[in-house]
Structure 1
Protein backbone atom coordinates (compact mmCIF):
# COMPACT_ATOMS: atom_id res chain seq x y z
CA UNK A 1 0.00 0.00 0.00
CA UNK A 2 1.42 3.40 -1.00
CA UNK A 3 1.39 6.52 1.10
CA UNK A 4 -0.79 9.20 -0.52
CA UNK A 5 -0.61 11.75 2.31
CA UNK A 6 -0.82 15.31 0.87
CA UNK A 7 -2.49 14.23 -2.39
CA UNK A 8 -5.39 12.53 -0.60
CA UNK A 9 -5.82 15.50 1.76
CA UNK A 10 -5.96 17.87 -1.21
CA UNK A 11 -8.63 15.80 -2.96
CA UNK A 12 -10.76 15.57 0.20
CA UNK A 13 -10.45 19.31 0.89
CA UNK A 14 -11.95 20.25 -2.49
CA UNK A 15 -15.73 20.17 -2.72
CA UNK A 16 -17.68 20.52 -5.88
CA UNK A 17 -19.80 23.66 -6.03
CA UNK A 18 -23.45 22.90 -6.57
CA UNK A 19 -26.21 25.15 -7.82
CA UNK A 20 -29.06 26.19 -5.55
CA UNK A 21 -32.28 28.03 -6.31
CA UNK A 22 -32.56 31.64 -5.21
CA UNK A 23 -35.35 34.18 -5.75
CA UNK A 24 -34.76 36.95 -8.28
CA UNK A 25 -36.83 39.31 -6.12
CA UNK A 26 -38.21 39.42 -2.60
CA UNK A 27 -41.19 37.08 -2.37
CA UNK A 28 -43.60 37.78 0.47
CA UNK A 29 -45.15 35.05 2.60
CA UNK A 30 -48.33 33.53 1.06
CA UNK A 31 -47.22 34.36 -2.52
CA UNK A 32 -47.17 31.61 -5.14
CA UNK A 33 -43.72 31.14 -6.70
CA UNK A 34 -43.45 31.30 -10.49
CA UNK A 35 -40.65 30.35 -12.90
CA UNK A 36 -39.79 34.03 -13.44
CA UNK A 37 -39.10 34.38 -9.69
CA UNK A 38 -36.20 31.88 -9.68
CA UNK A 39 -32.61 31.58 -10.82
CA UNK A 40 -29.75 29.17 -10.14
CA UNK A 41 -26.74 30.34 -8.16
CA UNK A 42 -23.45 28.51 -7.61
CA UNK A 43 -23.26 27.65 -3.93
CA UNK A 44 -23.36 24.63 -1.68
CA UNK A 45 -26.07 25.04 0.93
CA UNK A 46 -27.37 21.86 2.57
CA UNK A 47 -31.16 21.75 2.88
CA UNK A 48 -31.80 23.97 -0.14
CA UNK A 49 -33.65 23.32 -3.38
CA UNK A 50 -31.76 22.71 -6.63
CA UNK A 51 -34.61 21.72 -8.96
CA UNK A 52 -36.99 24.49 -10.13
CA UNK A 53 -39.78 21.95 -10.73
CA UNK A 54 -39.96 21.32 -6.97
CA UNK A 55 -40.49 25.02 -6.21
CA UNK A 56 -42.65 26.42 -9.02
CA UNK A 57 -46.30 26.61 -7.95
CA UNK A 58 -45.49 26.32 -4.23
CA UNK A 59 -46.40 28.98 -1.66
CA UNK A 60 -43.82 30.93 0.34
CA UNK A 61 -44.33 30.25 4.06
CA UNK A 62 -41.91 33.06 5.00
CA UNK A 63 -40.43 36.05 3.17
CA UNK A 64 -37.86 34.87 0.61
CA UNK A 65 -35.14 37.42 -0.12
CA UNK A 66 -33.48 37.89 -3.50
CA UNK A 67 -30.20 35.98 -3.80
CA UNK A 68 -30.69 33.82 -0.67
CA UNK A 69 -31.16 30.05 -1.07
CA UNK A 70 -34.68 28.65 -0.69
CA UNK A 71 -34.72 26.06 2.09
CA UNK A 72 -37.14 23.14 2.39
CA UNK A 73 -39.05 24.66 5.33
CA UNK A 74 -39.50 28.00 3.53
CA UNK A 75 -42.17 26.79 1.08
CA UNK A 76 -45.10 24.41 0.89
CA UNK A 77 -48.24 23.61 -1.05
CA UNK A 78 -50.62 26.53 -1.56
CA UNK A 79 -53.21 27.01 1.18
CA UNK A 80 -56.77 26.14 0.20
CA UNK A 81 -58.34 27.21 3.51
CA UNK A 82 -57.74 30.68 4.95
CA UNK A 83 -58.37 31.94 8.46
CA UNK A 84 -62.06 32.82 9.00
CA UNK A 85 -63.25 30.81 5.97
CA UNK A 86 -66.55 29.00 6.39
CA UNK A 87 -65.88 25.28 5.95
CA UNK A 88 -67.80 22.02 6.15
CA UNK A 89 -66.83 19.78 9.07
CA UNK A 90 -67.07 16.01 8.60
CA UNK A 91 -67.03 13.36 11.31
CA UNK A 92 -67.10 9.84 9.88
CA UNK A 93 -67.10 6.80 12.17
CA UNK A 94 -68.42 3.77 10.30
CA UNK A 95 -72.18 4.11 9.76
CA UNK A 96 -72.26 7.43 11.66
CA UNK A 97 -71.56 10.52 9.51
CA UNK A 98 -72.03 14.02 10.93
CA UNK A 99 -71.62 17.20 8.90
CA UNK A 100 -71.89 20.78 10.12
CA UNK A 101 -70.56 24.22 9.33
CA UNK A 102 -67.44 25.63 10.94
CA UNK A 103 -65.13 28.63 10.82
CA UNK A 104 -61.42 28.06 10.17
CA UNK A 105 -59.18 29.44 12.92
CA UNK A 106 -56.03 28.92 10.86
CA UNK A 107 -54.93 28.48 7.26
CA UNK A 108 -53.45 25.50 5.51
CA UNK A 109 -53.10 23.23 2.51
CA UNK A 110 -54.60 19.80 1.89
CA UNK A 111 -53.38 17.42 4.59
CA UNK A 112 -52.62 20.12 7.17
CA UNK A 113 -54.30 19.97 10.57
CA UNK A 114 -55.94 23.22 11.69
CA UNK A 115 -58.28 24.36 14.44
CA UNK A 116 -61.90 25.03 13.49
CA UNK A 117 -64.84 26.39 15.49
CA UNK A 118 -68.08 24.44 15.15
CA UNK A 119 -70.64 27.21 14.53
CA UNK A 120 -73.51 25.21 16.00
CA UNK A 121 -71.93 24.34 19.36
CA UNK A 122 -69.19 27.04 19.44
CA UNK A 123 -66.71 24.25 20.27
CA UNK A 124 -63.18 24.39 18.92
CA UNK A 125 -61.96 21.18 17.28
CA UNK A 126 -58.96 20.16 15.20
CA UNK A 127 -59.25 18.54 11.83
CA UNK A 128 -57.36 17.65 8.69
CA UNK A 129 -57.99 19.61 5.50
CA UNK A 130 -59.30 17.49 2.64
CA UNK A 131 -58.34 18.29 -0.99
CA UNK A 132 -61.81 19.79 -1.56
CA UNK A 133 -61.40 22.27 1.33
CA UNK A 134 -63.63 20.52 3.85
CA UNK A 135 -62.29 19.51 7.27
CA UNK A 136 -62.27 15.94 8.58
CA UNK A 137 -62.58 15.85 12.37
CA UNK A 138 -61.26 12.75 14.13
Structure 2
Protein backbone atom coordinates (compact mmCIF):
# COMPACT_ATOMS: atom_id res chain seq x y z
CA UNK A 1 0.00 0.00 0.00
CA UNK A 2 2.83 2.37 0.86
CA UNK A 3 4.49 1.58 -2.47
CA UNK A 4 1.30 2.48 -4.35
CA UNK A 5 1.05 5.81 -2.55
CA UNK A 6 4.70 6.53 -3.34
CA UNK A 7 4.24 5.70 -7.04
CA UNK A 8 1.07 7.83 -7.23
CA UNK A 9 2.91 10.77 -5.65
CA UNK A 10 5.78 10.41 -8.14
CA UNK A 11 3.40 10.20 -11.13
CA UNK A 12 1.47 13.29 -10.02
CA UNK A 13 4.65 15.28 -9.48
CA UNK A 14 3.90 15.73 -5.77
CA UNK A 15 6.68 15.96 -3.20
CA UNK A 16 7.59 12.55 -1.84
CA UNK A 17 7.91 12.27 1.93
CA UNK A 18 11.41 11.34 3.00
CA UNK A 19 11.74 7.90 4.52
CA UNK A 20 12.56 7.90 8.18
CA UNK A 21 14.35 5.31 10.27
CA UNK A 22 12.96 3.66 13.38
CA UNK A 23 14.52 1.42 15.98
CA UNK A 24 13.13 -2.09 16.48
CA UNK A 25 13.97 -4.99 18.76
CA UNK A 26 15.85 -7.82 17.02
CA UNK A 27 14.57 -10.40 19.51
CA UNK A 28 12.09 -10.60 22.36
CA UNK A 29 13.52 -8.79 25.37
CA UNK A 30 12.03 -9.07 28.84
CA UNK A 31 11.41 -5.97 30.91
CA UNK A 32 14.22 -4.99 33.32
CA UNK A 33 16.87 -6.17 30.83
CA UNK A 34 19.77 -3.89 29.86
CA UNK A 35 19.82 -3.51 26.06
CA UNK A 36 22.97 -4.30 24.12
CA UNK A 37 24.01 -3.70 20.49
CA UNK A 38 22.57 -7.04 19.37
CA UNK A 39 19.14 -6.30 20.81
CA UNK A 40 18.23 -3.43 18.45
CA UNK A 41 18.29 -2.66 14.73
CA UNK A 42 17.39 0.30 12.53
CA UNK A 43 14.79 -0.21 9.81
CA UNK A 44 13.01 2.12 7.42
CA UNK A 45 9.68 3.34 8.70
CA UNK A 46 7.83 6.31 10.06
CA UNK A 47 6.24 5.84 13.47
CA UNK A 48 5.76 8.84 15.75
CA UNK A 49 7.17 8.52 19.27
CA UNK A 50 9.78 5.87 18.53
CA UNK A 51 13.53 5.86 18.94
CA UNK A 52 15.55 6.39 15.77
CA UNK A 53 19.18 5.64 16.69
CA UNK A 54 20.74 2.63 18.44
CA UNK A 55 22.65 4.95 20.81
CA UNK A 56 19.31 6.01 22.33
CA UNK A 57 18.61 2.45 23.53
CA UNK A 58 21.95 0.69 24.08
CA UNK A 59 22.78 0.65 27.80
CA UNK A 60 19.21 1.56 28.76
CA UNK A 61 16.83 -0.75 30.60
CA UNK A 62 13.70 -2.14 28.95
CA UNK A 63 10.77 -0.85 31.02
CA UNK A 64 8.34 -3.22 29.28
CA UNK A 65 8.67 -6.43 27.26
CA UNK A 66 9.99 -5.66 23.77
CA UNK A 67 9.04 -7.93 20.88
CA UNK A 68 11.12 -8.76 17.80
CA UNK A 69 10.39 -6.48 14.83
CA UNK A 70 8.24 -4.03 16.77
CA UNK A 71 9.22 -0.35 17.10
CA UNK A 72 10.76 0.75 20.40
CA UNK A 73 8.90 3.75 21.82
CA UNK A 74 10.60 6.45 23.86
CA UNK A 75 8.72 5.32 26.99
CA UNK A 76 9.72 1.65 26.53
CA UNK A 77 13.29 2.23 27.77
CA UNK A 78 14.93 4.29 30.51
CA UNK A 79 17.95 4.51 32.73
CA UNK A 80 18.82 1.28 34.55
CA UNK A 81 17.18 0.98 37.96
CA UNK A 82 19.47 1.56 40.91
CA UNK A 83 16.68 1.21 43.49
CA UNK A 84 14.56 -1.93 43.80
CA UNK A 85 11.05 -2.18 45.23
CA UNK A 86 11.04 -2.47 49.07
CA UNK A 87 14.69 -1.38 49.30
CA UNK A 88 15.55 0.85 52.26
CA UNK A 89 16.83 4.20 50.95
CA UNK A 90 17.87 7.52 52.43
CA UNK A 91 15.17 10.15 52.07
CA UNK A 92 16.59 13.69 51.97
CA UNK A 93 14.73 16.97 52.28
CA UNK A 94 16.71 19.97 51.06
CA UNK A 95 15.74 23.60 51.47
CA UNK A 96 18.54 26.13 51.22
CA UNK A 97 21.24 25.03 53.67
CA UNK A 98 18.88 22.77 55.64
CA UNK A 99 19.14 19.02 54.98
CA UNK A 100 17.02 16.47 56.84
CA UNK A 101 17.63 12.76 56.26
CA UNK A 102 15.49 9.77 57.18
CA UNK A 103 15.16 6.12 56.23
CA UNK A 104 12.40 5.20 53.79
CA UNK A 105 11.13 2.16 51.90
CA UNK A 106 10.97 2.35 48.09
CA UNK A 107 7.51 1.55 46.75
CA UNK A 108 8.74 0.78 43.21
CA UNK A 109 11.88 0.40 41.06
CA UNK A 110 13.59 3.52 39.74
CA UNK A 111 16.68 4.84 38.00
CA UNK A 112 18.59 8.11 38.39
CA UNK A 113 16.29 11.09 37.81
CA UNK A 114 13.07 9.07 38.02
CA UNK A 115 10.23 10.12 40.30
CA UNK A 116 9.78 7.55 43.07
CA UNK A 117 7.22 7.12 45.82
CA UNK A 118 8.73 6.17 49.17
CA UNK A 119 7.33 5.60 52.65
CA UNK A 120 9.10 7.31 55.55
CA UNK A 121 9.75 4.50 58.05
CA UNK A 122 9.45 6.76 61.10
CA UNK A 123 6.19 8.54 60.24
CA UNK A 124 4.69 6.04 57.74
CA UNK A 125 3.92 8.99 55.41
CA UNK A 126 4.25 8.43 51.67
CA UNK A 127 6.05 11.10 49.64
CA UNK A 128 7.35 11.39 46.07
CA UNK A 129 10.88 12.45 45.30
CA UNK A 130 13.55 12.08 42.64
CA UNK A 131 16.33 9.50 42.66
CA UNK A 132 19.79 11.07 43.04
CA UNK A 133 22.94 9.52 41.51
CA UNK A 134 24.02 8.31 44.97
CA UNK A 135 20.80 6.25 45.35
CA UNK A 136 19.08 8.56 47.81
CA UNK A 137 15.66 10.11 47.19
CA UNK A 138 15.41 13.90 47.32
CA UNK A 139 12.20 15.78 48.20
CA UNK A 140 11.49 19.40 48.95
CA UNK A 141 11.81 22.80 47.31
CA UNK A 142 14.66 21.71 45.04
CA UNK A 143 13.46 18.21 44.27
CA UNK A 144 15.68 17.55 41.25
CA UNK A 145 19.08 16.23 42.48
User: TM-score scaled by structure 2?
Assistant: 0.81
Alignment of 1:95-110 (within 5 A): 95-110=97-112
Structure 1: runs of 5+ lacking an equivalent: 1-5
Query: 1:93 offset after TM fit, Å?
Result: 2.2
Query: 1:8 offset after TM fit, Å?
Result: 8.4
Question: Following the alignment from structure 2 to structure 1, what is the Cα–Cα distance between the partners of residues 80 and 12?
Answer: 46
Query: 1:67 offset after TM fit, Å?
Result: 0.4
The structure number with the bigger radius of gyration is 1
Q: Corresponding residue for 1:47?
A: 49
Structure 2: runs of 5+ lacking an equivalent: 1-8, 141-145
Q: Secondary structure at the match of 1:50?
A: coil
User: TM-score scaled by structure 1?
Assistant: 0.85
Q: Secondary structure at the match of 2:75?
A: helix
Q: Secondary structure at the match of 1:10?
A: coil
Query: 1:61 offset after TM fit, Å?
Result: 1.4
Question: Following the alignment from structure 2 to structure 1, what is the Cα–Cα distance between the partners of residues 32 and 48?
Answer: 24
| 1:10 corresponds to 2:13 | yes
Query: Could you say if the C-alpha distance between residues 16 and 136 of structure 1 is closer, same or farther in structure 2, counting changes exceeding 3 Å?
Result: same
